[in-house]
Amino acid sequence: MPYKTVIKFEDIFAKKAPFMASSIGRLRERFGDAWEKGLEQTLDAVSGGDTEKLEQAAVGYIRFSLETEKLQRRFAAEGHYLSKSHCDTAKEVFENPDYMFSTYLPGVLLLNYLWPHEYGHLCYFRDEFMKLIAESSDRRFCDIGVGAGFYSRLALSTTDDVIGTGYDISDHALAFARQQMEHFGFSGRWKGENRDVTFDVPDEKWPFIISVQILHLLDDPVALLKGMRKILAPGGKGFISVAMTAAEIDAIYVYNTMGEVREHLETAGFRVIKERENAAYAQRGNDPVPRLATFIVE
């Protein structure tokens, strides 16, 4: 079936970034109807059927992608990320509404479908973790670092009785995430709160916790992991992923191997049940390749 919003998005790409336009067709051919349907739903959520908003989202994603590519080249040359501290990043990125709404949030939302390794990560979450939620009698989850709200939204779509809480340090991210929940009809089953679980651990415990690509944005990832471990109920499961050797505007801590991430998880008290690594692309010479390390833990 034709996905009208994806076609409009593709047309915008052809005008705004012709060098990127062919990527939509390649992804469509590679991943098929499920991929295109998911992208259509996400584009509808961010644009609300408004062509101008769709164009703004496309331009934001293009800007985010080009910025990330530039940062990755710099990382390959210098061996460290641009950001030096979480405090500085919070001021420059998370507390900057213009940047958050024009570039960052559209970027981190749409990359879930437009970066192949991120889409693979999405499918792993759907196939492995959402299944655990569906099979549980207690379908509550906590999402630490909700960002654009994408993984909270996916978790809520598991069954009609899933209930979620999301924590983030950015009011702008929480506002964007709430808009996503409203679009999909999930507002009554999800609440967001500005809270840093590293320093302010809630009393409530959850049978499921989700943390997608947050650890490398911190000066001390283990401190957050310890907070997350405290809110995981006995017998509960967690889905924790992190970007390795992947330069982003807000990246601070460089993870080089799966083993380094696993060591941090175990230091915080988690036990790894399953793990998966996937790369953004094949290595070019000796340059570091952005990769995702994904763990299901208890």
> Is 86's pLDDT higher than 90?
no
| Residue 1: band (very low, low, confident or very high) from pLDDT cuts 50, 70, 90 | low
Q: Measured between alpha carbons, how far is 64 from 80 in angstroms, rounded to an integer?
A: 19
159-209 pLDDT tens trace: 999 999 999 999 999 999 999 999 999 999 999 999 999 999 999 999 999
Angle made by CA atoms 167, 170, 175, in degrees to the nearest 5:
85
What's the whole-number mean pLDDT along residues 132-136?
97
Best CA proximity match to 75, nearest among 280, 236, 294: 280
Q: Are 139 and 162 in contact (CB under 8 A)?
A: yes
pLDDT tier for residue 247 given thresholds of 50, 70 and 90: very high
Q: Between the CA atoms of 223, 229, 230 and 236, what dihedral angle is there, to the nearest 10 degrees? A: 170
- pLDDT of res. 82: 82
pLDDT confidence tier of residue 21, bands split at 50, 70 and 90:
confident
What's the confidence (pLDDT) of residue 284?
A: 83
Is residue 85 predicted with pLDDT exceeding 80? Answer: no
Q: What is the mean pLDDT of residues 48-76?
A: 94
Please state the pTM of the whole predicted model: 0.95
Q: What is the pLDDT of residues 107-131, one digit of tens each?
A: 999 999 999 999 999 999 999 999 9
Binning pLDDT at 50, 70 and 90, where does residue 87 land?
Answer: confident
Mean pLDDT of 16-31: 92
pLDDT recorded at residue 83: 72
Rounded distance between C-alpha atoms, residue 49 and residue 260, angstroms: 44
Ordered by where they begin, the domains of the chain are 116-297 (3.40.50.150)
pLDDT of residue 164: 98
- Integer Cα distance of 264 and 269 in angstroms: 9
Residue 20 has pLDDT above 90, yes or no: no
Q: In the prediction, which pLDDT does 241 show?
A: 98
If pLDDT is split at 50, 70 and 90, which confidence band does 286 have? confident
Mean pLDDT to the nearest integer, 58-86:
90
Of the pLDDT bands very low, low, confident and very high (cuts 50, 70, 90), residue 255 is: very high
